Amino acid sequence: MQPEPAQTNDAELLHAIARGDEAALASLYDRYRLILFGLLVRILGRREEAEDILQEVFIQVWRRAADFDEQRGKPFTWLVTLARSRAIDRLRQLSARERLATATALEAPPEASDAAQDAYLSEQKEIVAGALAQLPEEQRQTLLLAYFDGLTQTEIATRLNTPLGTIKTRMRSGMIKLREFLGDRTASLRSI
């Protein structure tokens, strides 16, 4: 008689997921979905948001299972860290949206348009558009996603399937280049 094989451990499941094993992902999901869902509900306070984030966490596990390093911690700790980080990102995003909505609601309706002011703003928009056009594509894309689409750095990294550190570097480098270019341009406008 053979002993019953031991249940596959979590690290082995992550290695299998890294090789594209969907059954391993399903097994890991079944093991931890309730625990992680409970954590997410406590952080977010809303079941719908927690469901969305839980799905995002396991999508991230599918994409980044190869990044798991057994020397740095246990699989459960890694999963909890992913879930907590995604939940905090969502809280920040929701908070930013609420602040924007409040500010917009409190904003006074615009008065009659001033032609000189409109011309100045139009010229400023052209300068910014020109500055953005001079950035390398990766930096421009990252800045547009952050400042015009309202995505967090983590969301941008996920959307572009790029490491978070790379996204942070692109944003910083892009902002430095924009500041240099816009500083020169706005200084020349003020002297006119």
Residue 160 sits in a domain of what CATH number? 1.10.10.10
Same domain, 94 and 48: yes
Same domain? For 92 and 147 the reply is: no
| Segment 168-192, tens digit of pLDDT | 998 888 888 888 877 766 555 555 4
Domain that holds residue 1: 1-107
Is the pLDDT assigned to residue 60 strictly greater than 90? yes
99, 124: one domain? no
Q: Which of 58-67, 85-94, 103-112 has the lowest mean pLDDT?
A: 103-112
Residues 35 and 124 in one domain: no
Judge if 100 and 64 occupy the same domain: yes
Q: Would you state the pLDDT for residue 120?
A: 65
pLDDT 10s digits, 2-11: 333 435 698 9
By the 8 A CB rule, do 12 and 68 touch? no
Number of domains in the chain: 2
Query: Collapsing DSSP states into helix, strand and coil, what is residue 43?
Result: helix
